[in-house]
Amino acid sequence: MSRRFSRAVGAVIYYTFGTHLPPSWSGVRLGQTAIRRLCARLMLARCGKKVNLEKGAVFSRKATLGDRSGIGINAKIYGECHIGDDVMMGTDVTVITRNHRIDRTDIPMMDQGFEEEKPVYIGNDVWIGDRVVILPGVHIGDGSVLAAGAVVSRDIPDYSIAAGVPAKVIRSRLQDSTDGFYHDPTSEPQK
């Protein structure tokens, strides 16, 4: 089966049937997780093992999804987005990879077209809360947490907790709770 044909089959199954099945956590068991997982394997540029697509999720075929990662309920992933392993995603998450051009004032913005696409990269072991918006070109570091409602317009370092509009790092997950100081696990211990 050609790649183009398999993507078309996956899209037909997913958008006519799979996306309307109950969420994976519901008490109703209709094989929704297996059906959506099959569609993901057919549709995505790369799809890991034990992935989970939720009800109502919309995603680009240029997206990649790592092992044991999920795309949340009603999530919208536009364009090229690379999601690592073990990523949890809340409801209504939006990932945008390009914006409208606005550089000219002599013609309406709607007639200016789009900027060049800027892929989004989401590292491994990331937790993305409900209604987070990730803007074009952003890199989310491994082990990071994005608080619900955050608008992420800049890169987030590894093991950071980010919140707000625009999102700012509010804490490192590498802080030792006993002394309140940051301890980089990649550095040598102090003597």
Report all structural domains of the chain as residue ranges with CATH numbers, in order of start: 47-172 (2.160.10.10)
**Per-residue pLDDT at 61 exceeds 80:** yes
Distances (CA, A) of 180 to 100, 106, 161, 174, 177: 43, 54, 15, 10, 5
pLDDT the model gives residue 184: 53
**Per-residue pLDDT at 55 exceeds 80:** yes
Average pLDDT, the chain: 90
pLDDT tens digits, one per residue of 2-20: 888 888 888 899 898 888 8
pTM for this predicted structure = 0.86
pLDDT tens digits, one per residue of 39-49: 999 999 899 99
Which residues belong to the active site? Answer: 100
Is the CB of residue 164 less than 8 Å from the CB of residue 129? no
